[in-house]
Amino acid sequence: MAGSTLKIQDLHVEIEGNEIIKGLDLQISGGEIHAIMGPNGTGKSTLASAIMGHPSFEITQGSVELDGEDVLEMEVDERARAGMFLAMQYPSEVTGVTTSDFLRTSINANREEGDQIPLMKFIKKMDKQMATLDMDESFSTRYLNEGFSGGEKKRNEILQLLMLEPKIAILDEVDSGLDIDALKVVSNGVNSMRSDDFGCLIITHYQRLLNYIEPDYVHVIMQGRIVKSGDAALAQRLENEGYDWIKEELGIEDERVGQSQEA
């Protein structure tokens, strides 16, 4: 079967009683790269966390389905096993667990008991993907993200993407903290995943990343909803003109950071 489809309909998400996502619709299918952009505090990371099942975010309305299966009924590990992946904006440091052990355990957790990845196959794959990402092999034996620089953490998130080969990935600001060379390397890594079996949602503030990973669709989120969609040219316009023209079009006077407000 070619590609999976993640379908989000009328999603409403609250945190501590504050509604952040207010009726969001989005569909991502295999073969498609979507980018989502929007001012600070408009709910981009909230959307990513809610889709992946972070317990702090309460979904009060709407649905998220992967190939017709109710994602919201799944535990976090079931979502990963179903083929969903999140590269986090702020990856956690995990002392005592090496990057290599983490990756092997994660891959095997997504496989059936009798189908665990053979050690040599795993090592070969990891070496290959670390080379793709221009990562020194010493990272494999370091504790997960411990003492990694901001850019190294982001590379490590993409290493997980390449190793786990999800059907649908959400990349939350993978470009933040990357130097220019690293941006290209990370983009090449993401582009190497491009196929009909892979759909991707890229959360970013900067058009620059989208020069390297060309999106099929660009969406703008404001006030917890997608208020505009287009192609790569939309990202270019945002880069040149900012968000004011969209606010004017929609009659949004003040996008206050961190406050619930009515549209």
Comparing CB distances to ligand ATP, the nearer of 20 and 103 is 20
Per-residue exposure over 4-32, b if at least 16 CB sit within 10 Å of its own CB, e if not? bbbbbeebbbbbeeebbbbbbebebbbeb
- As measured in angstroms, the least distance from the Cβ of 91 to ligand ATP is 14
Comparing CB distances to ligand ATP, the nearer of 100 and 204 is 204
- As measured in angstroms, the least distance from the Cβ of 77 to ligand ATP is 22
Q: How far is CA 249 from CA 183, 234, 252, in A?
A: 33, 14, 8
- As measured in angstroms, the least distance from the Cβ of 258 to ligand ATP is 3
Find the DSSP H helices in the chain.
Answer: 44-52, 76-81, 99-109, 119-132, 150-164, 180-192, 207-212, 232-241, 244-250
- As measured in angstroms, the least distance from the Cβ of 260 to ligand ATP is 9
In angstroms, rounded to a whole number, what is the distance separating the alpha carbons of residues 75 and 15? 19
Comparing CB distances to ligand ATP, the nearer of 4 and 46 is 46
- As measured in angstroms, the least distance from the Cβ of 16 to ligand ATP is 5
Comparing CB distances to ligand ATP, the nearer of 37 and 133 is 37
Nearest in space to 186 (alpha carbons), one of 223, 157, 208:
157
Amino acid at 150: G
Comparing CB distances to ligand ATP, the nearer of 31 and 41 is 41
In angstroms, rounded to a whole number, what is the distance separating the alpha carbons of residues 216 and 214? 7
- As measured in angstroms, the least distance from the Cβ of 79 to ligand ATP is 18
Comparing CB distances to ligand ATP, the nearer of 107 and 203 is 203
In angstroms, rounded to a whole number, what is the distance separating the alpha carbons of residues 214 and 207? 10
In angstroms, rounded to a whole number, what is the distance separating the alpha carbons of residues 13 and 183? 31
Nearest in space to 47 (alpha carbons), one of 207, 175, 171:
171
Comparing CB distances to ligand ATP, the nearer of 102 and 243 is 243
- As measured in angstroms, the least distance from the Cβ of 5 to ligand ATP is 24
In angstroms, rounded to a whole number, what is the distance separating the alpha carbons of residues 5 and 65? 8
In angstroms, rounded to a whole number, what is the distance separating the alpha carbons of residues 112 and 102? 17
Rule CB under 6 A: which residues touch ligand ATP? 15-16, 20, 38, 40-46, 56, 257-258
